[in-house]
């Protein structure tokens, strides 16, 4: 049985006191036990978030990391540094990293390797832009992102991977993929993995949908058979909305 996961990507929001407040509110919410709940605060809050949540069932993930183990990479953070503050999950390849920080599939392949070597779970993000969809090449784009970023890994390492399909045109825009569009792509992703690796691996990997998920649309999207949860941006900054999204899935 693959895991149901709802992860909140805070992006570059919440200083330490805002994070303390949001985490305290989140801990007061009744969250479904059927769902693995994850929050992704900025680097400066990771240690605090880990300490604050360690008695809870909420996990903490980083939003990014560098591919090298250490060295002269000013401003960067390594996998072992994440582990040293209790973090064992990392988001890789978010579309904002790809668009604003030049992250390519080749670079992401290196980051995936570094995460696996450090025994982290990687939430690997990918998704097409609006123009790709308009031109009807969204399946090809997604297949290339998967194959160049991820398909070099050893089959035994797939337990370290969670996938997050985030169509760029749906991120922060209020425009959500329809549940049918999400299902169609998630099914395609699973088939692509089955062909490249095996049916067992394809059936066991959790595939999250991200892009304007809100309490009002979560249940319908999560109701699709190949959608195993969500990566939530804006709505994860409000504890009540985030809890409603988690519980839309688990109940
Ligand atoms: P929104 O939910 O704000 O559209 O963001 C989605 C996202 O990018 C999550 O990583």
Please report the pLDDT score of residue 128 as a whole number.
97
Q: Which two tokens stand for residue 205?
A: 């990997």
pLDDT digits (tens, 9 = 90+) for 80-127: 999 999 999 999 999 999 999 999 999 999 999 999 999 999 999 999
pLDDT the model gives residue 251: 58
Mean pLDDT, to the nearest integer, of 60-88?
Answer: 98
pLDDT on residue 250? 65
Decide: 125 and 94 in contact? Cβ < 8 Å: yes
pLDDT value of residue 172:
84
Q: What is the pLDDT of residue 220?
A: 96
Whole-number Å distance between alpha carbons of 97 and 137:
22
CB count, 10 Å around CB of 91? 22
User: What pLDDT sits at residue 1?
Assistant: 73
Cα–Cα distance between 122 and 115 in angstroms, integer? 7
pLDDT score, position 213: 95
Question: Which among 25, 80, 16, 22 has a CA at the least distance from the CA of 46?
Answer: 16
Using alpha carbons, select from 124, 182, 195 the residue that is nearest to residue 158. 124
9 lines ligand 1 (CB under 6 A): yes
Ligand 1 lined by 149 (C-beta under 6 Å) = no
Ligand 1: residue whose CA is nearest its atom 9: 233
For residue 22, give the 3-state DSSP assignment. Answer: helix
C-alpha distances out from residue 5 to 137, 139, 185, Å: 28, 24, 18
**Å from CA of 213 to ligand 1 middle:** 7
Tokens 């779970």 label which residue? 121
Q: Rounded to an integer, what distance in angstroms lies between the CA atom of residue 42 and that of residue 19? A: 9
CA–centroid distance, residue 155 to ligand 1 (Å) = 29
The pLDDT tens digits of the residues spanning 2-57 come to: 999 999 999 999 999 999 999 999 999 999 999 999 999 999 999 999 999 999 99
Q: What is the pLDDT of residues 127-182, one digit of tens each?
A: 999 999 999 999 999 999 999 999 999 999 999 999 999 999 998 888 888 999 99
Mean pLDDT for the chain?
96
Tell me if 211 CB under 6 Å of ligand 1. Answer: yes
Reported in sequence order, the residue ranges of the chain that DSSP labels E, i.e. its strands, are 4-9, 35-40, 58-60, 89-92, 121-126, 161-165, 207-210, 229-232
Q: Which pLDDT does position 173 carry in this prediction?
A: 85
């Amino acid at each position: 049985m693959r895991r149901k996961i709802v992860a909140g990507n805070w992006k570059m929001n919440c200083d330490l006191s805002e994070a303390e407040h949001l985490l305290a509110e989140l801990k007061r919410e009744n969250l479904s036990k059927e769902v693995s709940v994850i929050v992704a605060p900025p680097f400066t809050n990771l240690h605090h978030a880990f300490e604050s949540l360690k008695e809870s069932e909420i996990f903490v993930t980083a939003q990014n990391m560098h591919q090298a183990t250490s060295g002269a990479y000013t401003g960067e953070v390594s996998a072992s540094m994440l582990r040293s503050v209790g973090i064992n999950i990392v988001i890789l390849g978010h579309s904002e990293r790809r668009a604003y920080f030049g992250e390519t599939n080749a670079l992401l392949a290196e980051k995936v390797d570094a995460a696996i070597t450090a025994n982290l779970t990687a939430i690997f993000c990918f998704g097409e832009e609006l123009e790709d969809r308009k031109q009807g090449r969204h399946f090809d784009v997604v297949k290339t992102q998967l194959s160049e970023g991820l398909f070099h890994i050893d089959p035994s390492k797939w337990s370290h991977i969670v996938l997050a399909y985030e169509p760029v045109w749906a991120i922060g825009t209020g425009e959500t993929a329809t549940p049918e569009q999400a299902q169609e792509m998630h099914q395609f992703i699973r088939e692509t993995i089955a062909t490249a690796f095996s049916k067992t691996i394809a059936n066991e990997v959790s595939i999250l949908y991200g892009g304007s998920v809100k309490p009002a649309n979560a249940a319908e999207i999560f109701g699709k058979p190949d959608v195993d949860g969500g990566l939530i941006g804006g709505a994860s900054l409000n504890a009540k909305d985030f809890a409603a999204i988690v519980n839309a899935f688990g109940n």
